[in-house]
């Protein structure tokens, strides 16, 4: 475990993390600060707690949308057996209709 100091909304936070996650935490802190600054400029809100709450909600909603998009099942190609079976049924139906 390593200690990494991240700076978010004007405050420093020392965190313990595995070495392989340190860069990810730093990048995440940068993204939080960027979104925080965007909201601060966009909404003219001065309360840091409100801005942090808005930022947290933004990232949580993005994550929820991302998870939903990846959980939606994509249509699968029918198997060769299924295609053959449907083809045979179609031929039977045509034969019955011709009679």
Q: Which of 84, 78, 32 is nearest to 57 (CA)?
A: 32
Structure tokens at 22: 């340190």
> Looking up tokens 């313990």, which residue turns up?
16
- pLDDT > 70? residue 68: no
Q: Rounded CA gap, 96 and 47, in Å? A: 76
Could you give the residue ranges of the DSSP H alpha helices within 1-99?
22-43, 48-71, 80-98
Q: CB of 9 within 8 A of CB of 51?
A: yes
29: helix, strand or coil: helix
pLDDT digits (tens, 9 = 90+) for 16-57: 999 999 999 999 999 999 999 999 999 988 899 999 999 999
User: pTM of the predicted model, to two decimals?
Assistant: 0.64
């Amino acid at each position: 475990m390593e200690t990494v100091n991240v700076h978010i909304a004007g405050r420093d936070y020392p965190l313990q993390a595995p070495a392989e996650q340190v860069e990810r935490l730093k990048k995440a802190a940068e993204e939080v600060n960027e979104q925080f600054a965007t909201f601060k400029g966009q909404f003219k809100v001065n309360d840091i707690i409100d801005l942090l709450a808005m930022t947290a909600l933004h990232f949580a909603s993005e994550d929820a949308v991302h998870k939903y998009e990846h959980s939606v099942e994509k249509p699968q190609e029918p198997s060769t057996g299924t295609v053959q079976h449907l083809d045979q049924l179609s031929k039977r139906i045509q034969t019955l209709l011709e009679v």
